[in-house]
């Protein structure tokens, strides 16, 4: 067993043009002042991080780590959630996802996809240069428009979709393998990898690639009414990253999983700040700790009600209260005694050897 590292904070929902969220220096000072021990950086936000420079320059990578260290922080991982989304986009979503790419690529889906793949390749190099062991991303989705089978999907459609998804990701997975970094897909509605069954389909298509792993965020499983504890136990060997994010699901006569197109506040399922939702984090932290998870507990703030700064401040205490300092001895060691094979055989009535 190992004591989990944390608390850490994913900066994607905090980056902005106003201080202290407008530079790595400022946001690090703010996060360190709240008591965070690590931060997870969105690689697409130039206000905080230059992915291209990190892939090329060890000096720049050291500058990033030095900036964090001044405020008692470590870099937990990089994220390419937005770029990963663009590795596989069904045409129906082209216009909406153009916002994830540079303006010069808008309306050019083929060029946008190539750019996204290159971004992941850069992320592999940058992660290696920074001495990181894990990386978080999205799988993208070719099949999401066909998730609910009406009209019935043509035979073989899902198989074709997953074969193509694997074809696009295999070179990226190999690049991360060469870099010595686990690529962790956040299991998330809207992605082709949105539950255990879809992750297993993908894993089969990439021949159980050792770098194809999971970023475990129970909130996305709560909102699917999925057994998030069972999921954790089933895929524990593939779970290499952990987002600590809460959610609640309160179905009614009007709404269920699909939410009736309502806004987040009015939905049956919605994200909440830590401790305000329904997620059993005591069990989650216990299972991860018992199984030797040696990654970070990273808070991702997404709440329909609470201000993000309040969520971050309260989240520090929440995670600190849930991290289990592992024991170095068994509780009943005091009652034990030294023994050897000969005495054990006598105790069992087996006589001499």
- Does any domain span residue 234? yes
pTM of the model: 0.95
> In the prediction, which pLDDT does 327 show?
83
- Is the confidence at residue 352, as pLDDT, over 80? no
174 lies in which domain range? 5-328
HEC readout, the chain: CCCCEEEEEECCCCCCCCCCCCCHHHHHHHHHHHCCCEEEEECCCCCCCCHHHHHHCHHHHHHHHHHHHCCCCEEEEEEEHHHHHCCCECHHHHHHHHHHCCHHHCCCHHHHHHHHHHHHHHHHHHHHHCCCCEEEECCCECCHHHCCCCCCCCCCHHHHHHHHHHHHHHHHHHHHHHHCCEEEEECCCCCCCCCHHHHHHHHHHCCCCCCEEEEECHHHHHCCCCCHHHHHHHCHHHEEEEEECEEEECCCCCCCCCHHHCCHHHCCEEEECCCCCCCCHHHHHHHHHHCCCCCEEEECCCCCCCCHHHHHHHHHHHHHHHCCCCCCCCCCHHHCCCCCHHHHHHHCCCCCC
- Cα–Cα distance, 313 to 238 (Å, whole number): 30
Structure confidence by residue, pLDDT tens digits, 296-309: 999 999 999 999 99
Number of domains in the chain: 1
Q: What is the pLDDT of residues 148-181, one digit of tens each?
A: 999 999 999 999 999 999 999 999 999 999 999 9
Rounded average pLDDT over 328-337: 76
**pLDDT tens sequence across 243-286:** 999 999 999 999 999 999 999 999 999 999 999 999 999 999 99
Domain for residue 318, yes or no?
A: yes
Is 348 among the domain residues?
A: no
Q: With the C-alpha atoms ordered 148, 263, 199, 115, is the resulting torsion angle positive or negative? A: positive
Portion of the chain with pLDDT greater than 90, in percent: 92
Per-residue confidence band for 353, with pLDDT thresholds at 50, 70 and 90: low
CA distance 102 to 80: 14
Report the CATH number that the domain containing residue 52 is assigned in CATH.
3.20.20.150
The CA distance from 230 to 239, in Å, is 13
The per-residue pLDDT for range 177-198, each reduced to its tens digit, is 999 999 999 999 999 999 999 9
Name the more confident of 332 and 311.
Answer: 311
* Position 336 pLDDT exceeds 80: no
Q: What is the mean pLDDT of the chain?
A: 96
Is residue 338 one of the residues assigned to a domain?
no
Q: Are 235 and 291 in contact, with CB atoms under 8 Å apart?
A: no
In a domain, 81, yes or no: yes
The per-residue pLDDT for 343 is: 86
The answer to the question of residue 336 being in a domain is no
The mean per-residue pLDDT over the stretch 44-67 comes to 98
What is the pLDDT at residue 342? 87
Asked whether residue 153 is assigned to any structural domain, the reply reads yes
Answer yes or no: is 333 within a domain. Answer: no
What share of the chain has pLDDT > 70, as a percent?
Answer: 99
């Amino acid at each position: 067993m190992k004591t989990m590292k944390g608390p850490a904070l994913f900066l994607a929902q905090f980056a902005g043009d106003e201080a202290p969220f407008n530079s790595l220096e400022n946001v690090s000072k703010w996060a360190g002042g709240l008591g965070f021990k690590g931060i997870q950086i969105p690689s697409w936000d130039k206000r905080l991080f230059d992915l291209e420079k990190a892939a090329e320059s060890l000096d720049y990578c050291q500058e990033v780590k030095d900036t964090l260290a001044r405020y008692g922080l470590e870099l937990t991982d990089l994220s390419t959630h937005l770029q990963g989304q663009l590795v596989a986009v069904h045409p129906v979503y082209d216009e909406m996802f153009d916002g994830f790419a540079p303006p010069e690529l808008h309306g050019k889906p083929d060029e946008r996809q190539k750019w996204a793949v290159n971004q992941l390749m850069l992320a592999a190099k940058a992660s290696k240069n920074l001495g990181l062991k894990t990386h978080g991303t999205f799988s993208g989705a070719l099949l999401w428009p066909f998730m609910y089978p009406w009209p019935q999907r043509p035979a073989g459609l899902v198989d074709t979709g997953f074969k193509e998804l694997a074809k696009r990701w295999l070179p990226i997975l190999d690049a991360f393998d060469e870099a010595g970094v686990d690529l962790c897909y956040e299991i998330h509605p809207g992605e082709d990898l949105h539950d255990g069954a879809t992750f297993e389909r993908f894993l089969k298509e990439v021949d159980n690639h050792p770098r194809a792993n999971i970023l475990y965020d129970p909130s996305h499983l709560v909102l699917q009414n999925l057994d998030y504890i069972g999921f954790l136990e089933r895929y524990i060997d593939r779970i290499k990253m952990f987002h600590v994010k809460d959610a609640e699901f309160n179905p009614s006569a009007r709404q269920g999983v699909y939410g009736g197109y309502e806004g987040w506040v009015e939905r049956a399922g919605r994200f909440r700040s830590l401790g305000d939702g329904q997620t059993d984090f005591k069990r989650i932290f216990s299972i991860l700790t018992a199984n030797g998870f040696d990654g970070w507990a990273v808070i991702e703030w997404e709440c329909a009600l609470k201000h993000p700064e309040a969520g971050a401040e309260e989240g520090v205490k929440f995670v600190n209260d849930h991290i289990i300092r592992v024991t170095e001895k068994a509780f009943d060691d005091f009652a034990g005694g030294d023994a050897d094979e000969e005495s054990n055989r006598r105790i069992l009535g087996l006589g001499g050897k």
